Structure 1
Amino acid sequence: MRIIVHPHELGIGGSQLNAIELAAAVRDRGHETLVFGRSGPLRQRIDELGLEFVEAPPQGRRPSIPAARALAELAERRHIDVIHGYEWPPILDGVLAAAGSRSLTVVGTVMSMSVPPFIPHSVPLVVGTAEMREYERAAGRHRTHLLEPPVDLEFNDPSLVDGAAAFRERFGLDGTGLNIVSVGRFAHELKLEGILTAIEVVGALADATGARLILVGDGPARGEVERAADAANRRYGAGTVVLTGPLDDPRPAYAAADISLGMGGSALRALAYGTPLVVQGENGFWRTLTPASADQFLWTGWYGIGEGSAAGAARLRNELAPLLSGAPRRARLGDFGRRLVADRFSPLFAKLFVSHSTASRLESG
């Protein structure tokens, strides 16, 4: 098959990184794939994987009429069989591009925490959690399939990460304290509440524990994050909160972590580095991955909804305290997370799914 993969953007983020790496996995199974989108930091990963990239026009409001028109023209010129959109704007771009075509199939992947109801039920969907799959099937989306976010353990092997020492030197990580690392987009929805809570909590713990918070990313909420970080550094000491900005390659940051905070695909990638993980959600949700909590995350995804944002700071303090005070616990939970990723989320699992399930379903429409 000939497939266009259309991520919702090419900034650093889990959904779009999955789109690119799965495009390469599908290519390696013998299909012709290309990536369509606006250039961004993940363009480097596209090039590393040897994928063809086609630049999209400026998109403006989304779904984008210019993007849909360019997709339709590209599909006709290259005799494309499938447009695979990741998240709702590219999915709707694909629907518009395929309008009136009898030969072009649109498929969608939603790695967000819910499926927008305005995505047409005629679009076959791939979702990232078992709970979402069952919910959407019960709501009438019978062609909803599960593909848990894959993690490339070779690419994310901490022993092979270049630039880890340079990263530590660049950001003043001198080895005297514990690094609590979060890699993700600074978005108002889903993310900002937890980021601000983490700044507050780690700042208050810094003097007693020697912990520092390292935030890797960028996004529309960057101003609020910078103001909160500046306030924490004035109150608790310079370097308590470190903002790295966006990194084309965040692997050195993952490798520097003693404890990771995160949700979704970023949380899974953090586990590949053998560090304990506290899963971030909304409305005050924080929970450490342990053998007792693993089943919850395997059902709902790497996310949760708490009992109220006001309780978030206390909840995060309670999750961090035993990790900050106990190196054996950190080692034990880091090893557990690494084994979980290797057993459940490795590229081998993803490639087998693509080969034996997704490809046949895409082909049949």
Structure 2
Amino acid sequence: MRLLVYPHDLSIGGSQINAIDLAAGAAAAGHEVVVYGVPGPLVDYIAERGLRFIPARTLHYRPAPSRIAQIAAIAFRNRIDLIHAYEWPSCLDAYYAASLLLNVPLLCTVLSMDVMPYVPASVPLIMGTADLGAQARKVQRGDVWVIEPPIDVERDNPNIDGSAFRRAHNALKDDFLIVSVSRLALDLKLDALVRAIDAVDLLAGSQQVKLVLVGDGPAREALETRAKAVNLRHGRDVVVLPGADMDPRPAYAAADLVVGMGSSALRALATGCPLIVQGEQAFSEIFGPGTCDMFLKQGFYGLGDGLPGAYRLAEQIEILIRDPARRIELGAFGRQVVTERFSLQRAINLQLEIYRQVLETPPGRRMTDALRSARLALKLEFANHDPAQKRRRKSRESAMLAAARSGRWPPEASDGI
């Protein structure tokens, strides 16, 4: 099988890494695999996994005419048997380029926390949680499968040495080191990151805690400002932001506790580290036997009650600080769950079987699907380029960043949210 894999971009992120890891698994199984995408930090990771890479043309609109033409040419020249696109913009490009024009089968994976209406209803889908799979089946005519974000449990394991990471960040033997590995993004991530800072602020007066936020993104400056205020208040480095790291395994290995969501949360469990799953609107829960089924159903993410303050998260952290034996039990339980349910090899086997089914099933394309998806995507593009919409979006982002810099969170509607 000749396969074209198209991640939505190649910045550091869970969806992109999953796409590359699964592509490498397909290549190891004997298939010809090409990865196509916008050049970014993960290009080196593609080379490390031994995969061929073709850079995508510059994107100006979604769906992008330049990409549509390029994908069609790549599919034709390389006699591609199946295109696997990740997230809806890539799916639309591939749908118009090769699926409609060249009759090349298309599969789309959506790992965001919503069922996007921009994916044509006839396109077969892979979703990342059972709940999202059930939602997608209500609107999609094509087949829908569920593959949870896969983790390379051989590469991410409890035997990784984190001592150098602790030394690099001046985490003493008695320090309780909390780690978060995340994009420092405004959407989806910022609420959790701010509350993590606020939680250690609440604890730092009575506990020897340190929080290291590994990652980069548009919220970094605002988070650094908030962290500096916390550090000044306590007279020591309570919160540290060292930037992004292509290999965060030592960070997980060094941690006494990881806070996070999605693939990052699963990688923490693979290293045998106890975990508090965060989401948005103040959501946080300790991962363990009592919450495992919930997270297997909804994904390693959640929506809370939106109350101000980080008292819930601080209380959960303090419970684990005071109970080392429970931390060991939770770490062992998490490693077992990830190994049995989320291993990369299991996901590769599932995905290869899905490829077989897609290739054996005649595509159910309809021009009405194409027109509806194009209309919705163009409507979104016009909204994104509308000056008034741009001002509202800029005002919202500015209000979020201002609230993240200050001692006030979450921002209020009166701030422009």
Deviating more after overlay: 59-68 vs 130-139: 59-68
Aligned to 1:72: 72
1:167 aligns with 2:162: no
Cα distance 1:235–1:34, how it changes in 2: closer, same or farther (>3 A)?
same
1:267 aligns with 2:288: no
Bigger Cα Rg: 2
Deviation per CA, 1:182-228: give whole Å up to 9, x if none. Answer: 11111111110110011011122123111111111112222222221
Please state whether the residue corresponding to 1:243 is helix, strand or coil.
strand
Q: Using the TM superposition, give the Cα deviation of residue 293 of structure 1 relative to its aligned residue in structure 2, in angstroms.
A: 0.6
Aligned to 2:149: 149
Aligned to 1:185: 183
Q: Which amino acid aligns with 1:32?
A: E
Cα distance 1:273–1:237, how it changes in 2: closer, same or farther (>3 A)?
farther
TM-score by length of 2: 0.83
8 Å CA contact 1:10–1:37 kept in 2: the answer is yes
Tell me the distance in 2 between the aligned counterparts of 1:251 and 1:172.
18
Aligned to 2:295: 297
Deviation per CA, 1:73-105: give whole Å up to 9, x if none. Answer: 211111112221111221122123226424312
- CA-based RMSD of the aligned residues comes to 1.8
Q: Which amino acid aligns with 2:42?
A: L
Deviating more after overlay: 34-43 vs 125-134: 34-43
Aligned to 1:220: 218
Aligned to 1:344: 341
**Runs of 5+ unmatched residues, structure 1:** none
Please state whether the residue corresponding to 1:260 is helix, strand or coil.
strand
Query: What pairs with 1:197-208 in structure 2 (closer than 5 Å)?
Result: 197-208=195-206
8 Å CA contact 2:123–2:140 kept in 1: the answer is no
1:321 aligns with 2:318: yes
Please state whether the residue corresponding to 2:106 is helix, strand or coil.
strand
Deviating more after overlay: 222-231 vs 14-23: 222-231
Count matched residues.
362
Q: Which amino acid aligns with 1:107?
A: L
Deviating more after overlay: 281-290 vs 32-41: 32-41
Tell me the distance in 2 between the aligned counterparts of 1:334 and 1:166.
21
- Identity within the alignment, %: 45
Tell me the distance in 1 between the aligned counterparts of 2:357 and 2:195.
45
Cα distance 1:201–1:51, how it changes in 2: closer, same or farther (>3 A)?
same
Q: Which amino acid aligns with 1:201?
A: A
8 Å CA contact 2:121–2:139 kept in 1: the answer is no
Tell me the distance in 2 between the aligned counterparts of 1:160 and 1:240.
24
Tell me the distance in 2 between the aligned counterparts of 1:125 and 1:137.
9
Cα distance 1:314–1:123, how it changes in 2: closer, same or farther (>3 A)?
same
Aligned to 2:327: 330
Tell me the distance in 1 between the aligned counterparts of 2:99 and 2:127.
24
Q: Using the TM superposition, give the Cα deviation of residue 160 of structure 1 relative to its aligned residue in structure 2, in angstroms.
A: 4.5
Q: Using the TM superposition, give the Cα deviation of residue 271 of structure 1 relative to its aligned residue in structure 2, in angstroms.
A: 0.3
Please state whether the residue corresponding to 1:207 is helix, strand or coil.
coil
8 Å CA contact 1:156–1:251 kept in 2: the answer is yes
Deviation per CA, 1:94-128: give whole Å up to 9, x if none. Answer: 12322642431221101111121121112111001
Tell me the distance in 2 between the aligned counterparts of 1:123 and 1:236.
54
Q: Using the TM superposition, give the Cα deviation of residue 138 of structure 1 relative to its aligned residue in structure 2, in angstroms.
A: 2.2
Tell me the distance in 2 between the aligned counterparts of 1:292 and 1:182.
23
TM-score by length of 1: 0.94
Q: Using the TM superposition, give the Cα deviation of residue 142 of structure 1 relative to its aligned residue in structure 2, in angstroms.
A: 4.4
Q: Using the TM superposition, give the Cα deviation of residue 331 of structure 1 relative to its aligned residue in structure 2, in angstroms.
A: 0.6
8 Å CA contact 1:82–1:104 kept in 2: the answer is yes
Deviating more after overlay: 225-234 vs 355-364: 355-364
Q: Using the TM superposition, give the Cα deviation of residue 363 of structure 1 relative to its aligned residue in structure 2, in angstroms.
A: 4.8
Aligned to 1:245: 243
